[in-house]
Amino acid sequence: MTNNVLSVSALTKSIKQLLESGFPSVWVEGEISNYINHSSGHRYFTLKDEGAQIKCVIWKGMSRYLFFEPQNGMKVKACGQVTVYEKSGQYQLTVTNMQPSGIGALEIAFQQLKIKLEKEGLFDPEHKRPLPEYPRKIGIVTSPTGAAVRDIINIINRRAPWVELIIRPTLVQGEGAAADIVKAIEEFNEYAQTDLLIVGRGGGSLEDLWPFNEEIVARAIYNSDIPVISAVGHQIDFTIADFVADLRAPTPSAAAEIAVPDSAELKEYYIDIYKRICAAQVENISAYKSNLIGLVSRYGLRRPLEIINSRLQRIDDLSQHFKQSAAHAVDQFKNRLAVVNARLGSASPKNIMSRGYAFVSSPHTGETIRSFTQTAVGDDIDIRLFKGSLSAKVSRVRGEN
């Protein structure tokens, strides 16, 4: 009998193997209590209902996938593996995924994520891109079987039949929907051939619309290089995707109307422009015609040769007047020049020397000798006469009488 006795460790290990192999993955719904967000990054809490409770743990590596902060009293659905903590001999649920359960918990999770993303700047208007005015290709991320996709197709085909629509069938509710929406947005960005994305679905409960409230979807829309219109539910429904998107449409049908111009309205618009251009051209032609008639009726255009001859005669008159004025000016200049020459001639040294005067200077210095004090007996001097010159030597010096 003693051969069948197990140690506590062996029994616990057997129980651990049995439980963990029997419950590899399980969803459990209950209310959170004793919630601890440990400094290590791990989270510990108890999940309970009216009849029982189970301890739970979310390891640090999985915590980053939470899109809300759990709170005591919050009802949730937790997915994980049943494990045994051998040291205390207690079984627990190692949680890998957790979602709020019930409207109250979903509202809390919605507000928590909204505040978080708003602080990070995901809702900032500066980040929102303008929609293309005339898109050629539009990508649609939605369920291929819902009424939303049919409304979008019908409205866009009616308003802008030239637009090419590319539909990426997507889960829009339930498990895996958020991940599928993210993948669809990323695929369109990798394809890089669409001008605009419409992401959405028709109406439903808060739980049905919840994939569009998940953080991974919000970040995929924010990181998209293609402008995104969020079209989720009805006009009264608001999701996190609406706040992040470049534009929120109240319904999928409204998104289709926003995305493309109405061809009928465009036709009327361009017809109106055409009419305005024609009217403006008619008015311009009429104005040019009036100007032309006015020019033709002028005297100068009726008798151009007479005007030319008149101008030629005027040129001849001006030319004759110029010649007379020039001749008179030349005569006046000649008279003034003669007077100046006469004055210069009377003051010329040559004229003075012709009257018997001479110019005396030193042959050594060239200095003009004006006074007896500038010479001495025996000095050489040059004497310039009216005709010719003399070289002489001073033999006597006399002062003024």
Q: pLDDT tens digits for 207-263?
A: 889 999 999 999 999 999 999 999 998 877 789 999 999 999 999 999 999 999 987
The more confident residue out of 387 and 45 is 45
Mean pLDDT comparison of 160-164, 272-276, 288-292, highest-scoring range? 160-164
Tell me the C-alpha distance between 280 and 278, whole Å.
5
pLDDT of the residue at 303: 67
Q: Model confidence at 135, in pLDDT bands (50, 70, 90)? A: very high
Question: Is the pLDDT reported for residue 345 higher than 70?
Answer: no
pLDDT of the residue at 260: 93
pLDDT (mean) for 174-193? 94
Both tokens of 179, joined, read 């991940």
pLDDT of the residue at 258: 94
Query: Quick one: CA torsion of 28, 33, 37, 42, rounded to 10 degrees?
Result: -40
Strand order in 164-169's β-sheet?
A: 164-169, 137-142, 196-201, 228-232, 247-248
Tell me the C-alpha distance between 266 and 214, whole Å.
39
Q: Which residues of 224-249 are buried (b: 16+ CB within 10 A; e: fewer)?
A: bebbbbbbbbeeebbbbbbbbbbbbb
Question: Is the pLDDT reported for residue 264 higher than 60?
Answer: yes
pLDDT (mean) for 164-171? 95
Question: Is the pLDDT reported for residue 348 higher than 70?
Answer: no
Question: Is the pLDDT reported for residue 20 higher than 80?
Answer: no
The more confident residue out of 342 and 81 is 81
pLDDT of the residue at 157: 93
pLDDT of the residue at 139: 96
The more confident residue out of 387 and 104 is 387
Q: What is the tens place of the pLDDT at every residue in 1-13? A: 556 788 888 887 8
> Do residues 31 and 75 make contact, with C-beta atoms less than 8 angstroms apart?
yes
The more confident residue out of 58 and 312 is 58
Question: Is the pLDDT reported for residue 306 higher than 80?
Answer: no
Instruction: Report the mean per-residue pLDDT for the chain.
Output: 85
Q: What is the separation of C-alpha 364 from the centre of its chain, rounded to a whole number of angstroms?
A: 92
pLDDT (mean) for 94-118? 84
What is the CATH architecture assignment of 8-101?
Beta Barrel (2.40)
Report phi then psi at 231, rounded to 5. -135, 80
Q: What is the separation of C-alpha 186 from the centre of its chain, rounded to a whole number of angstroms?
A: 25
Question: Is the pLDDT reported for residue 300 higher than 70?
Answer: no
pLDDT of the residue at 374: 82
> Do residues 109 and 100 make contact, with C-beta atoms less than 8 angstroms apart?
yes
User: Percent of the chain having pLDDT more than 70?
Assistant: 94
pLDDT (mean) for 16-25? 78
pLDDT (mean) for 343-355? 69
pLDDT of the residue at 2: 57
Q: 53 - beta bridge partners?
A: 48
Q: 28 - beta bridge partners?
A: 78
pLDDT (mean) for 79-94? 86
Identify residue 9 by its one-letter amino acid code.
Answer: S
Tell me the C-alpha distance between 276 and 170, whole Å.
48
pLDDT of the residue at 90: 86
Question: Is the pLDDT reported for residue 149 higher than 90?
Answer: yes
Nearest alpha-carbon partner for 184 in 151, 202, 163, 211? 211
Domain coordinates of the chain in residue numbers?
8-101, 134-261, 302-343, 352-393
> Does domain 134-261 fall into CATH 3.40.50.10550?
yes
Q: How many CB atoms lie within 10 A of CB 17?
A: 11
pLDDT of the residue at 255: 95
Q: Model confidence at 180, in pLDDT bands (50, 70, 90)? A: very high
pTM for the model: 0.54
